[in-house]
A = this chain, B = another copy of it.
Amino acid sequence: MTSALPAHPADLAVACGAALDDLRTRTPLVQCLTNEVTTNLVANALLAVGASPAMASVPGEAEELAGAAGAVLVNLGTPGPDQRASMGATVAAASGAGVPWVLDPVAVGVLAVRTRLAGHLLAERPAVVRGNASEVRALAGFVSAGRGVDARDDVEAAADAADALARLTGGAVAVSGPVDLVSDARGQVRLAVGDPLLTAVTGAGCALGGLVAAFTAVAPARTAAVAATTALGLAAERAARGARGPASFQVGLVDELYRLTPADLAARVGTAQQVGVPA
């Protein structure tokens, strides 16, 4: 997790391509405590990039798997009592074993139960926080106009919050939106990639959280966040071409993740990067 990060955009692109190659070769186990609405899509997205998903959220099993996994995803989308009971122990087991974990703070700032829960979990320092602007602002303690899983806030309005959160965790923070932002101690990366149909499919954000977790099993936090964001965005661009609507788009999205090559990914990371703030 602490290896040197590429400083140059081209290096980042190469690192992302290499990470996808590693993912397909090493097929790491990714243990997911995730949203019940979208578990199936998350699992299929993970399989499509080469990871081996485990969706064990039962207390006693969740933490058992976390220590042996390559990475762990904690998505707060449907934090029922059993899952809440598993989350603390799972994150602690991951941290204790040096396994990177990713926090997807769905609807944090809107609903009280999960907002408190997210605050507690942050103490275990997720490798990556992946959310929309409202969620990242709420998690960083800023005021938000969010109303659940929608991304009402503009990504740029969450840039400072992302930086603050990254300083707090020591990891990376990925803010999803029309232009995605990844922040860590070394600065910000902006990625112009994706398709508006991603917002018409339930679970596209959850799938991204899962992909980020998969990439943390084989790459440093910032590389993982950039690789996952670009992989999903590029697959979305390709899927949108043949789609008649959101359901055929979703089918295409998983198919295109499966067909994605390391060279494709590296090339798109190269073109997606925007050094400054977009106009």
Contact = CB atoms under 8 A, between A and B. Distances in A.
Given A43-B37, A55-B37, A202-B43, A114 B255 contact: no
The listed residue with most B CB atoms (<10 A of its CB), out of A60, A78, A245, is A245
A113 B250 contact: no
A259 interface: yes
Nearest to A243: B255
B112 A64 contact: yes
A52 B37 CA distance: 14
- Copies of this protein in the assembly total 3
A157 interface: no
B247 A252 contact: yes
Contact of A247 (B39, B147, B150, B254): B254
Contacts of A253: 247
A113 B258 contact: no
Contact of A37 (B39, B203, B244, B255): B39
15 contacts: A29-B147, A36-B36, A40-B202, A44-B250, A47-B200, A52-B147, A54-B148, A54-B149, A58-B80, A244-B252, A246-B255, A246-B258, A247-B250, A247-B258, A248-B251
Interface of A: 29, 36-41, 43-44, 47-48, 52-61, 64-65, 68, 77-82, 107, 111-114, 147-150, 200-203, 243-248, 250-259
